Amino acid sequence: MIVKESDYICPRCNSHNTSQARPAFIAASGIIFIGIGAWTFSIPVLGYGFVIAGGIMLLASPFLRNVHLCNICKKIWKIKPVKKIPAEKIIDFMERSQKYKSNKEND
Ligand SMILES: [Zn+2]
C-alpha cells in the first residue's frame, strides 16, 4: 500500500477518513520500477516509461513525508513534524538545576 491510515482529521471537511503517504514504500517501488525498466530497456516506450516513472517516485518520495490526504474530499496537506521533548529529560534537567542551587547555598 502506498498509503496507510492516518490519525489526522481533514482540515477541509473534518473527516476522519484520511490516509498518510508512505515514502519508504514509494521509494522502494521506484527502485523496483527502475529495475523493471532496465530489464525491459530493449522494449521501446515500456523500458523508458518504467525508468522515468521509477525515477519520479524515487525523487518525490522524500517530499512525501508527513503528507496526508483525505479520502472524502481528496484534499492533500502536509503536517509539520512536531519535535517532542521527552518528559524524563525535562524532569532530569529540573532535578539537576535544583541540585546545583542547593550546592551553591551550602557553600
Ligand atoms: Zn476532506
What phi and psi values does residue 69 have, to the nearest 5 degrees? -135, 145
- Ligand 1 geometric centre to CA of 5 (Å): 14
Q: Indicate if the pLDDT at residue 107 is higher than 70.
A: no
- Ligand 1 geometric centre to CA of 25 (Å): 24
Q: Per mean pLDDT, which range of 28-42, 54-68, 79-93 is the poorest?
A: 79-93
Supply the mean pLDDT for the chain: 89
Q: Indicate if the pLDDT at residue 18 is higher than 70.
A: yes
Residue 17 pLDDT level (bands cut at 50, 70, 90): very high
What is the dihedral sign for C-alpha 61, 54, 6, 17? Answer: positive
Q: What is the mean pLDDT of residues 98-102?
A: 81
Contact 33, 54 (CB under 8 A): yes
pLDDT score at 15: 95
Contact 76, 2 (CB under 8 A): no
Residue 99 pLDDT level (bands cut at 50, 70, 90): confident
What grid cell was written down for 47?
Answer: 523500458
Residues in the chain: 107
Contact 36, 49 (CB under 8 A): no
- Ligand 1 geometric centre to CA of 46 (Å): 36
- Ligand 1 geometric centre to CA of 58 (Å): 27
Residues with CB under 5 A from ligand 1 (ion): 10, 12-13, 15, 70, 72-73, 75
